[in-house]
């Protein structure tokens, strides 16, 4: 990933935070014949285990857990190439940035459009898991991570046990020990302060139009935070 120094994010808690906030990752691995047929990619939700204690059974950079349908051929390619690392891409907020928001446009006109975004890339080795107990824990943990904040959360135990067991028979587990995690926060840090203010205000305006929780609103907050504008 191309990473100019001013866009590089290395703080592990920030990188982990984006993965948890945007858990649908793009799993990319080699295709058949050692990758000669090109890479294969699938979007699947991931759980992140982070080291919390000195003796915790979690790698220093964390571990990803997920599952694939048995009908998905990617897991067989992973099982057949256990020494081939994978790449998982997590996409955070993004937004188009118009030059009309820049003070520089009014001063010199020497500006062009761009795109702001936050992204995390994870690399590591994959372990393919067929153990039923592991898979049951995986789907339970994933469900809790998404249902926990709901007023009436659904639980795996709400479904008939025999039905859940039949579903588990149709999936394969994946565990990725993270060997490298990198982030890129391209959120207008390279622009003059007046331009950053203009971008934040422009995105906030679009976010208000689009409604609460919009990508524009999320990006506006990031521009303010990473651009040092929170106190302005």
pLDDT for the residue 190: 94
232: pLDDT strictly greater than 50: no
Domain that holds residue 70: 5-96+113-189
Q: What is the pLDDT of residue 214?
A: 65
pLDDT score, position 83: 82
Tell whether 230 is covered by a domain.
Answer: no
Does a structural domain hold residue 119?
yes
Please tell me the distance from the alpha carbon of residue 186 to that of residue 183, in angstroms, as a whole number.
Answer: 10
Do 23 and 47 contact (CB within 8 A), yes or no?
yes
pLDDT, position 62: 95
- Residue 208 in any domain: the answer is no
- Statement: residue 29 has pLDDT above 60: yes
Q: Which helix (H) or strand (E) holds 225?
A: helix 215-226
Where does the pLDDT of residue 54 fall: very low under 50, low under 70, confident under 90, or very high at 90 and above?
low
Domain membership flag for residue 37: yes
DSSP for 60-101, written as a single string: TT-EEEEEEETT-THHHHHHH-TTS-EEEEEEEEEEEE-GGG
For residue 179, CA distances in Å to 43, 87, 131, 152, 232 come to 20, 10, 24, 38, 39
CB 87 within 8 A of CB 25: no
Q: Is the pTM of this model over 0.85?
A: yes
- How does pLDDT run across 78-103, given as a tens digit for each residue? 999 888 899 999 999 999 999 999 99
In a domain, 194, yes or no: no
Considering the domain boundaries, does residue 144 fall inside one? yes
Q: Per-residue pLDDT tens for 175-197?
A: 999 999 999 999 999 999 999 99
Q: Which of 81-85, 114-118, 136-140, 173-177 has the lowest mean pLDDT?
A: 81-85
Decide: 226 and 7 in contact? Cβ < 8 Å.
no
Radius of gyration, alpha carbons of the chain: 21
Q: Please check whether residue 198 lies inside any domain of the structure.
A: no
What's the CA gap between 148 and 61, in Å, rounded? 25
Number of domains in the chain: 1
3-state secondary structure of 3: coil
Render pLDDT for 147-159 as a digit per residue (tens, 0 to 9).
998 999 999 999 9
8-state DSSP, 55:
T
Write down the mean pLDDT value for the chain. 92
Q: What is the CATH number of the domain that holds 160?
A: 2.30.110.10
Give the pLDDT score at 229.
84
Helix residue spans in 174-214 (DSSP H): 193-210
Q: For residue 136, is it within any domain?
A: yes
> Which is it for strands 47-49 and 24-30: parallel, antiparallel or unpaired?
unpaired
Query: CB–CB of 173/138 below 8 Å?
Result: yes
State the Cα–Cα distance between residues 23 and 10, nearest whole angstrom.
19
140, pLDDT greater than 80: yes
Tokens, residue 146: 């998404």
Is the pLDDT reported for residue 106 higher than 90? yes
User: Which residues, 6+ apart, have CB-to-CB distance to 112 below 8 Å?
Assistant: 99
């Amino acid at each position: 990933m191309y990473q100019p120094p001013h866009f590089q994010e290395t703080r592990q808690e920030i990188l982990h935070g984006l993965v948890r906030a945007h858990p649908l990752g793009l799993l990319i691995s080699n295709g058949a014949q050692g990758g000669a047929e090109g890479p294969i990619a699938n979007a699947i939700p991931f759980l992140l285990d982070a080291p919390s204690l000195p003796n915790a059974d979690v790698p220093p950079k964390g571990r990803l857990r997920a599952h694939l349908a048995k009908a998905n051929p990617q897991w067989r390619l992973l099982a057949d190439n256990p020494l081939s690392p994978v790449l998982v891409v997590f996409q955070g907020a993004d937004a188009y940035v118009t030059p009309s928001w820049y003070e520089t446009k009014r001063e010199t006109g020497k500006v062009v459009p761009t795109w702001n975004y936050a992204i995390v890339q994870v690399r590591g080795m994959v372990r393919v898991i067929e153990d039923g107990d592991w898979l049951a824990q995986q789907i339970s943990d994933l469900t809790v991570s998404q249902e926990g904040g709901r007023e009436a959360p659904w639980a795996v135990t709400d479904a008939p046990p025999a039905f859940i067991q039949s579903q588990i028979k149709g999936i394969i587990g994946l565990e990725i020990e993270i060997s490298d995690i990198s982030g890129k926060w391209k959120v207008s840090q390279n622009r003059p302060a007046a331009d950053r203010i203009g971008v934040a205000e422009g995105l906030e305006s679009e976010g208000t139009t689009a409604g609460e929780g919009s990508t524009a609103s999320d990006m506006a907050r990031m521009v303010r935070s990473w651009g040092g504008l929170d106190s302005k």
